[in-house]
């Protein structure tokens, strides 16, 4: 009955033996036969076998990672020199984006013009990725059982009282001054996305962090009363539909659409680059609401 490791390996190769079915506890073969209808092949792992398989896994892990890092480091030798203008990554696409981007999209910030005009559908997809993630987290976190089948309460994900910043005087006083500034900075980054570094994603993340700080310091109940589930749903859905409608005009007007209407961006003037600003604001709202709802779901299990 006792097999060596290599015999087991060859049996596994033929399909007669299953490593994963092994458990660390003794199992009654009769029960397994009743449930699976198969002759029982499950044996309890001995302590030695367990230690051996664990050690083997660790050794193989280290070897594999070292080999992978070695191969990747070896590949550095055949890379082109770093920061060289002759590199293959610097091609006519980049020239086109930088030289014609301001005329065609109106954005002074080439990255904003690229992601919100040339590749606007890509950014719409990103916003929907965030939306889908919020939906998935909602489904997973909303129906969590807080009690075991026999009625005893399970330990909470974050036990109340362990992380309670609302009782901390220093954090509370500092945050009272800090939150308005974070909000203003977030709005600045959001509204200047087409003129300076920043844009919808970074501005939205800053606004979301302000909301998270607010709900940490002033308590989740107060935050949930202001930013209700209904409000967040409305903001996200209106932003996503506005983005989708604003960018779908090219389906109707063809590829060469509305060039003359989009005004050119002027550094220092917020209302200057046509559609880029409203699209940035829409993306920013989606990101902000996503960050805030992630926090609330993990902290509270619900938004309300």
Give the pair of three-digit tokens for residue 31. 């029960």
* Rounded Cα–Cα distance for residues 142 and 149 (Å): 18
Q: Does 225 bind another protein (CB under 8 A)?
A: no
Of the candidate residues 5, 12, 121, 298, the single one contacting another protein (CB under 8 A): 298
Q: Which is nearer to another protein, 9 or 44 (CB)?
A: 44
Question: Residue 114 interacts with another protein (CB under 8 A)?
Answer: yes
Segment contacting another protein by CB under 8 A, of 11-19, 27-35, 221-229, 235-243: 27-35
44 binds another protein (CB under 8 A): no
CB of 206 to another protein, least distance (A): 14
* Contacts of residue 108, Cβ cutoff 8 Å, sequence gap at least 6: 102, 194, 195, 196, 265, 266, 267, 273
**Cα atoms found within 13 Å of the Cα of residue 115, Cβ hemisphere only:** 18
**Alpha-carbon torsion, ordered 270, 274, 275, 276, to 10 deg:** -50
Q: Does 76 bind another protein (CB under 8 A)?
A: yes
d(CA 55, CA 134): 39
Sequence-distant (6+) residues with CB within 8 A of 130 are: 286, 287, 290
DSSP letter string over 47-63?
HHHHHHHHHHHHHHHHH
168 interacts with another protein by CB under 8 A: no
- Of 71-79, 209-217, 218-226, 251-259: span binding another protein (CB under 8 A): 71-79
Note whether 275 binds another protein by CB under 8 A. Answer: no
Q: Which residues bind another protein (CB under 8 A)?
A: 20-21, 23-25, 27, 31-32, 35, 42, 58, 61-62, 64-65, 68-69, 72-73, 76-77, 79, 81-85, 87, 89-90, 93-95, 97-99, 101-102, 108-111, 114-115, 119, 122, 126, 129-130, 132-134, 136-137, 140-141, 144-145, 154, 157, 195-197, 201, 267, 294, 297-298
């Amino acid at each position: 009955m006792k097999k060596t490791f290599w015999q087991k390996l060859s049996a596994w190769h033929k399909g007669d033996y299953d490593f994963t079915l092994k458990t660390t506890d003794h199992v009654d073969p009769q029960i397994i036969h009743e449930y699976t209808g198969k002759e029982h092949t499950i044996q309890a792992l001995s302590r030695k076998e367990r230690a051996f398989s664990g050690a083997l896994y660790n050794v193989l892990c280290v070897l594999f990672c070292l080999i992978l890092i070695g191969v990747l480091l070896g590949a550095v030798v055949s890379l082109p020199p770093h920061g060289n203008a002759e590199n293959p990554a610097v091609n006519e696409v980049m020239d086109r984006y930088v030289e014609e981007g301001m005329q065609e999209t109106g954005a002074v910030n080439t990255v904003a013009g690229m992601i919100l005009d040339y590749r606007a559908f890509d950014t719409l997809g990103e916003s929907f990725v965030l939306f889908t993630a919020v939906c998935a987290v909602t489904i997973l976190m909303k129906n969590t059982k807080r009690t075991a089948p026999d009625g005893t309460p399970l330990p909470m994900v974050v036990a109340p009282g362990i992380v309670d910043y609302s009782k901390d005087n220093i954090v509370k006083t500092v945050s009272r001054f800090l939150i308005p500034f974070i909000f203003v900075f977030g709005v600045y980054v959001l509204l200047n996305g087409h003129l300076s570094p920043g844009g919808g994603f970074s501005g939205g993340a800053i606004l979301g962090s302000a909301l998270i700080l607010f709900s940490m310091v002033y308590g989740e109940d107060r935050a949930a009363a202001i930013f209700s589930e209904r409000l967040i749903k409305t903001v996200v859905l209106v932003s996503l539909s506005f983005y989708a409608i604003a960018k779908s005009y090219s389906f109707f007007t063809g590829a060469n659409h509305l060039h003359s209407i989009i005004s050119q961006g002027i550094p220092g003037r917020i209302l200057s680059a046509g559609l880029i600003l409203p699209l940035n604001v829409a993306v920013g709202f989606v990101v902000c609401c996503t960050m805030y709802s992630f926090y609330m779901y993990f902290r509270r299990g619900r938004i309300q």
